[in-house]
């Protein structure tokens, strides 16, 4: 591993694993975390979980899996440029969406409503539940037994009441402390990835057009630069050239702003990072450009009538499944029937959240369509 900054997370300063294990022979502890995540069942399921467009709507649209890989690439680049632990940044990035429901945010919102009287549902906490308990791969423990800092990075936010139940892992939310810079990088890499790649998918789908983006500053600036550099460029090549420039500009801005914040705060140790205000961020100008882009995507893409039609169907599927299983837990697979003995609602949420889009649709047909078995 190259020389790291004095405030980077390393194996030596980590708070370790919940269950003690021998150190890996030829990997760092955070490389081991990354590898465990990649080999997990929950990670493979992300291939068939919605980002914006449901999986069967097109082979070239992003899924939760491709999104997670793209986040990891951006986060790793930023972490390495800042002399931080890029293996930790990658591990957090690859695991940050493990707890997402089928059908993206529509599925999460529906399941949260179903769980309103049972503690609610939040994909952030579900990701942690998966790596701490639900994955069944090792004889010595439940979950993946990840390093404390990887688990900490998965928790982007947490309400105080729930934080209190998480012990040391939730303490920072109660004490107003920050996680590692590596974890902070993942939060912004996530934003860079979904803003730019949702834009790409929206253009590919035809639900938004280049003409609609004339007033969006960050896009207009970079599409003009692409056309100036390549006067004959058009179509998909123009879109790709523009979006790669947008991502590059955001990463460059974030690096400059973060370096300045680290210097201004006098950061020299990991303890300094925990006590400091957020260190990873965009300049004021870039943050404003991102706000404009996000507002455009919300209004023009996420609220497009064709997207809303699918999300409305998705909500109905989640609500129907949850209600059917809550009414009669015998409809659950045996593994989840057993889990339901300790609390049916949470076991049902685990089952439904773990479904892929197509499995949820198939399960819905089995339960509600006449003639299906």
Comparing C-alpha atoms, which of 350, 291, 279, 292 is closest to residue 321? 350
**Greater confidence, 146 or 206?**
146
What contacts 24+ positions apart, CB below 8 Å, involve 222-228? 222/246, 222/249
DSSP state of 255: H
Taking the whole predicted model, whether its pTM rises above 0.95 is answered as: no
pLDDT band at 56 (very low <50, low <70, confident <90, very high): very low
pLDDT at 55 over 70: no
Looking at the chain, the whole-number percentage of residues with pLDDT higher than 70 is 96
pLDDT at 371 over 70: no
**CB-CB neighbours of 334 under 10 Å:** 8
pLDDT at 309: 87
Comparing C-alpha atoms, which of 47, 77, 72, 75 is closest to residue 62? 47
- What's the CA gap between 51 and 88, in Å, rounded? 24
pLDDT at 120: 94
Q: Is 108 exposed, middle or buried (0-12, 13-18, 19+ CB in 10 A)?
A: buried
pLDDT at 129 over 60: yes
* CA distances, 95 to each of 36, 218, 270 (Å): 10, 29, 22
Task: Give the chain's mean pLDDT.
Answer: 93
* CA distances, 285 to each of 82, 192, 256 (Å): 22, 15, 13
**Greater confidence, 363 or 54?**
363
The helix or strand, by DSSP H or E, that contains position 204, with its residue range, turns out to be helix 181-205
The residues pairing with 50 across neighbouring beta strands, listed in sequence order, are 63
- What's the CA gap between 353 and 29, in Å, rounded? 29
pLDDT band at 372 (very low <50, low <70, confident <90, very high): low
Comparing C-alpha atoms, which of 184, 127, 185 is closest to residue 154? 127
pLDDT at 370: 73
Comparing C-alpha atoms, which of 197, 202, 303 is closest to residue 250? 197
pLDDT at 330 over 60: yes
**CB-CB neighbours of 360 under 10 Å:** 24
Comparing C-alpha atoms, which of 164, 292, 157 is closest to residue 217? 292
Q: What residues does each domain of the chain span? A: 29-308, 314-368
The residues pairing with 63 across neighbouring beta strands, listed in sequence order, are 50
pLDDT band at 1 (very low <50, low <70, confident <90, very high): low
Q: What is the pLDDT of residues 223-246, one digit of tens each?
A: 999 999 999 999 999 999 999 999
Q: Which two tokens stand for residue 129?
A: 């539940």
Q: H helices within 206-234, ranges in order?
A: 217-229
**CB-CB neighbours of 186 under 10 Å:** 31
Q: Which two tokens stand for residue 327?
A: 């009414």
pLDDT band at 58 (very low <50, low <70, confident <90, very high): very low
b or e along 287-321 (b: 16 or more beta carbons within 10 Å of the residue's beta carbon)?
eebbeebeebbeebbbebeebeebbeebbebbebb
**CB-CB neighbours of 157 under 10 Å:** 10
Q: What is the pLDDT of residues 70-124, one digit of tens each?
A: 999 999 999 999 999 999 999 999 999 999 999 988 899 999 999 999 999 999 9
Q: What is the pLDDT of residues 258-291, one digit of tens each?
A: 999 999 999 999 999 999 999 999 999 999 999 9
Please tell me the CATH code under which domain 29-308 is placed. Answer: 1.10.3210.10
- What's the CA gap between 28 and 149, in Å, rounded? 14
Looking at the chain, the whole-number percentage of residues with pLDDT higher than 90 is 84
Q: H helices within 60-122, ranges in order?
A: 64-81, 86-95, 104-114
Question: By the 8 A CB rule, do 178 and 184 touch?
Answer: yes
**CB-CB neighbours of 238 under 10 Å:** 17
- What's the CA gap between 186 and 77, in Å, rounded? 11
Average confidence (pLDDT) over 8-32: 95
Average confidence (pLDDT) over 118-142: 95
pLDDT at 348: 97
Question: By the 8 A CB rule, do 247 and 226 touch?
Answer: no
Comparing C-alpha atoms, which of 76, 54, 51 is closest to residue 65? 51
């Amino acid at each position: 591993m190259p020389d790291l900054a004095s405030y980077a997370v390393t194996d030596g300063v980590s708070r370790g694993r919940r269950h003690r294990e021998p150190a890996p022979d030829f990997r760092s502890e955070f490389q081991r975390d990354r590898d465990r995540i990649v080999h997990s069942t929950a990670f493979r399921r992300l291939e068939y979980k919605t980002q914006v467009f449901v999986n069967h709507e097109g082979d070239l649209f992003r899924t939760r899996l491709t999104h997670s890989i793209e986040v990891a690439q951006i986060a790793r680049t930023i972490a390495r440029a800042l002399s931080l632990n890029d293996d930790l940044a990658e591990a957090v990035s690859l695991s940050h969406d493990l707890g997402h429901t089928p059908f993206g945010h529509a599925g999460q919102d529906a399941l949260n409503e179903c769980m309103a009287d049972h503690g609610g549902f939040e994909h952030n906490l579900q990701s942690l539940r998966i790596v701490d308990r639900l994955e069944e791969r090792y004889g010595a423990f439940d979950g993946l037994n990840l390093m404390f800092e990887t688990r900490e990075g998965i928790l982007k936010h947490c309400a105080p009441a729930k934080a209190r139940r998480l012990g040391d892992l939730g303490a920072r939310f109660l004490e107003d402390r920050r996680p590692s810079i590596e974890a902070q990088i993942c939060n912004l890499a996530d934003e860079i990835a979904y803003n730019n790649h949702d834009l790409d998918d929206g253009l590919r789908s035809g639900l938004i057009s280049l003409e609609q983006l004339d007033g969006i500053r960050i896009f207009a600036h970079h599409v003009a630069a692409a056309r100036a550099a390549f006067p004959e460029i058009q179509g998909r090549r123009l879109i790709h050239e523009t979006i790669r420039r947008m991502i590059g500009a955001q990463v460059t801005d974030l690096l400059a702003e973060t370096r300045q914040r680290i210097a201004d705060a006098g950061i020299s140790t990991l303890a300094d990072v925990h006590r400091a205000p957020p260190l990873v961020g965009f300049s004021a100008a870039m943050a404003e450009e991102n706000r404009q882009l996000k507002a455009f995507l919300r209004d023009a893409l996420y609220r497009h009538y064709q997207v809303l039609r699918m999300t409305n169907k998705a909500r109905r599927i989640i609500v129907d499944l949850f209600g059917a299983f809550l009414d009669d837990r015998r409809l659950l697979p045996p593994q989840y029937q057993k889990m339901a003995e300790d609390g049916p609602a949470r076991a049902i949420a685990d089952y439904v959240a773990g479904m892929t889009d197509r499995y949820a649709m198939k399960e819905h047909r089995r339960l509600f369509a006449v003639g299906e078995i």
